[in-house]
Amino acid sequence: MDVSRETLKDITICKIAGDININNAAQLRKLFEEIYKEGARKVVIDLSSLNYVDSSGLASFIEFLQRLTQAKGILRLSGLSDKIANIFEVTKLNTIFQVFENVERAKEGI
C-alpha cells in the first residue's frame, strides 16, 4: 500500500494505491486518525490506483466515515475500479459512502 496526500484549500486529498489488507489496515487507520487530528474535515480519497481491499480495509473506511460524520465533516471516495466498486456494491457500502467517478468530481461542491 502506497499513500500520498495533499491539501488544497480546506480539502484533503488522500491517494491510496496498491493493496489494503489485514497487514496494513492498522497503518491505514493510523493515517486516517492523523488526518482527522490535523483538523481535516473535508476529505476525498482517491482509490483509482487501489488494487484490492479486504474486510479489514473496509472497516478502516467505515471508522473514518463515522468520525468525520460525527464531526460534521465529509468523506468522499473516488475513482473506484470495477472490482473495488463491486466490493462496495456487494456489501452495500455504496449506500453509506459518497462515491464519485474521479477526484475532480468529488471535489465539486464539497
Partner 1 sequence: MSEFRYQIKSVLDNVLALVEELEANWVANGLDKDTVFALRTAFQEAVVNAVKHGNKQNPKTTVDIIYRLSDSQLEIEITDEGEGFDYSSLPDPRNKDQIMKLGGKGVFMMKKFMDRVEFIGKGNRVKMVKLRNLEGASKMIEDILVFKPGDEINANSTGKLRKVFDEIINSDKKKVVVDLSGIEYIDSAGLAILIEFFQRLQKNSGKLHICGLSSKISKIFEVAKLNSIFKIYDSFEKAYKGF
Q: How many residues bind partner 1 (CB under 8 A)?
A: 21
Minimum distance from residue 104 beta carbon to partner 1 (Å): 27
Minimum distance from residue 54 beta carbon to partner 1 (Å): 6
Gap between the Cα atoms of 72 and 74, Å rounded: 7
* 93 contributes a contact to partner 1 by CB under 8 A: yes
DSSP state of 98: E
**Span near partner 1 by CB under 8 A; candidates 4-12, 38-46, 56-64, 98-106:** 56-64
Nearer to partner 1, 6 or 95 (CB): 95
| CA separation, residue 87 to residues 10, 17, 36, 43, 59 (Å) | 30, 16, 25, 21, 13
Please list the alpha-helical segments (H only) found in 7-102: 25-37, 55-70, 82-90
Q: Which of residues 61-90 bind partner 1 (CB under 8 A)?
A: 62-63, 65-66, 83, 87, 90
DSSP codes of every residue in 17-36? EEEE-TTTHHHHHHHHHHHH
Q: Provide the binding-site residues for partner 1, judged by CB under 8 A.
A: 21-23, 52, 54-56, 58-59, 62-63, 65-66, 83, 87, 90-93, 95-96
